[in-house]
Amino acid sequence: LLANRRLSREVEALRQAQEPAREERDLIGRSSAMLTVSKEIALSSGSDATVLITGESGTGKEVVARLIHQHSGRQGPFVAVNCAAIVDTLLESELFGHEKGAFTGAQARKLGKFELAQDGTLFLDEVGELAPLLQAKLLRALQEREFERVGGTQQIATNARVVAATNRDLVAEAQAGRFREDLVYSLDVIHIRMPPLRERMEDIPLLAEALLKRIAERIRKPVPTLTPASLERLQRHDWPGNVRELENLLTQAAVHARTPVITPDLLALTPGAPANAPSPTPTARRVLRTLDQVEAEHVQQVLDHTGGHKGRTCEILGISRPALDRKIDKYGLKLPPR
């Protein structure tokens, strides 16, 4: 019976998969910051304790989560959920499942991610976006190791290991009353901080080489190389989008390159650290802003671009409507007149 139940869960997980399997990636870099991350992965892999991975967007938090799962020896699957990409009313069912008839449209029982991740790892990306009701239910699942499906009464045990990630300071969020303090403690048993790319610029040559190999396979072209001038230009940019920005930039350059050599003119860097500017000195660095300031400015820019259309804004930002409303209230953003 247990074997059949486990098999049915695996089938359900495959059927519900909404994204193609992502290529496995390793941590790339020899900087002291990345060596520290590698040590933390090794230490946390041998434990079943909950892990909280923090860092800016694009630093590779999901890569770390997958590596923890791969080295943990767990036999179950790695199941990922983006908490900011699903509307709050649907996220509860996505995480905990629902019974037939629990709500309009619930025509059959559905297993949630906690059940599908049995014997494996459940990765909660953007966990800082959870609504208060879901925070309470997640806390109970972590503390009691059991939960109820939506519309159900049966307590279901779970042994899924939870790895969460966020680009927010959850302690500050708790102090501001936007996140449960007790949930912070339950999530932050083991803490891994992913450093932004600007803190490990010495890793850019290795990163660029590895990324270009993967890019070449995707676009079916020979593996391109960077000229010394191109590499120097990459190392003088401040990379607000981190590794994701670097990969997108190299992909664009590789697609437009007519030869297997990427020259500086193919690197369309966004404003930040000008490519032709001299290397910054300790006394000549630009003023750095907090993550909240950067996020507030970006959300406002997208709102202005869409003319205040919240649906299109959510599509561009990759977040749910309630998450957008919370950001508008939090930062006091203004909707442009329509």
Q: For 21-45, how does the pLDDT look when each residue is reduced to its tens digit (9 = 90+)?
A: 444 467 898 999 999 999 999 999 9
Lowest mean pLDDT among 65-69, 109-113, 162-166: 109-113
pLDDT of residue 270: 53
How many C-beta atoms lie closer than 10 Å to residue 248's C-beta? 14
Q: Is the pLDDT of residue 274 over 80?
A: no
Given pLDDT bands bounded at 50, 70 and 90, which one contains residue 296?
Answer: confident
Who has greater pLDDT, 232 or 335?
Answer: 232
DSSP alpha helix (H) spans, the chain: 2-16, 32-45, 61-70, 88-96, 113-116, 132-144, 170-175, 181-187, 204-219, 228-234, 242-256, 291-305, 310-317, 321-331
Q: What percent of the chain has pLDDT over 70?
A: 87
Residues 6+ apart with CB under 8 A from 143: 186
pLDDT of residue 21: 42
Phi, psi of 328 (to 5 degrees): -65, -45
pLDDT of residue 142: 95
Q: Is the pLDDT of residue 51 over 50?
A: yes
8 Å CB contact between 97 and 149: yes
Q: Is the pLDDT of residue 338 over 80?
A: no
Phi, psi of 52 (to 5 degrees): -115, 120
Q: What is the mean pLDDT of residues 98-125?
A: 88
pLDDT of residue 275: 35
Lowest mean pLDDT among 65-79, 82-96, 267-281, 310-324: 267-281
Lowest mean pLDDT among 73-77, 259-263, 285-289: 285-289
Q: What is the mean pLDDT of residues 202-211?
A: 94
The residue among 138, 141, 161 whose CA lies nearest residue 79 is 161
Q: What is the mean pLDDT of residues 219-232?
A: 92
pLDDT of residue 22: 45
d(CA 184, CA 171): 7
The residue among 108, 189, 179, 200 whose CA lies nearest residue 142 is 189
Who has greater pLDDT, 298 or 190?
Answer: 190
Query: pTM value?
Result: 0.73
pLDDT of residue 139: 95
d(CA 159, CA 221): 44
pLDDT of residue 88: 81
Who has greater pLDDT, 5 or 255?
Answer: 255
Identity of the amino acid at 137: K
Mean pLDDT of the chain: 85
